[in-house]
Amino acid sequence: MPDQAGSNRLLSRVPVVFWAVTVLVAILDLITKSLAFRRLPDLESAPIVLVRGFLQIVHSENRGGVFGLGQGSAAWLLFAAVAAVAVIWFAHRRDSRPLLIQLALGLILAGALGNLYDRIAFGYVRDFIDVVYWPGRHWPAFNAADSGICIGAVCLAIYALFLAPKPAPKPDKKSGRR
């Protein structure tokens, strides 16, 4: 019988999927930002139209937070750093072993790190994907890091709503039945 000492530890072994997704998506984010901003060096650069009337690559500098909220606030640096530490801690917990959770947390951490890097290196987040959802109406520009965070959040919601184990019913105090 294998030794079971320490089997009740809070933290698990290194979550390989989590770290692989984190590294790959963070690298993808930094490469795509670099390519877009090399091609569109300033705010006056003409957009690169990918799908006329729907999708284009632009030069956008987000100095705020989510969707440009809180412009100029340094609090986003602190928030991103704390969020990154929290995600790493959750990814290493024993109850965070399901593949979908590891994937989701890796996407979220990669996004947080990609945008944190931009804030430290440039003073703003480099956004470049511009979606027109209605003639003349644009969704706020975003990047691969933002996509990772959103996809990761959706994966966590799917797990929580449909895949997470259901808690055992509590015994009925009067009859002692479940």
- Is there a catalytic annotation at residue 127? yes
- Is there a catalytic annotation at residue 130? no
Catalytic residue among 29, 118, 130, 146: 146
DSSP single-letter state for residue 50: E
Residue 40 identity (one-letter amino acid): L
Contact between residue 62 and residue 68 where contact means Cβ atoms under 8 Å apart: yes
Catalytic residue among 118, 127, 130, 172: 127
Residue 166 identity (one-letter amino acid): K
Contact between residue 93 and residue 10 where contact means Cβ atoms under 8 Å apart: yes
Q: Which two tokens stand for residue 64?
A: 């705020």
Enumerate the active-site residues. 127, 146
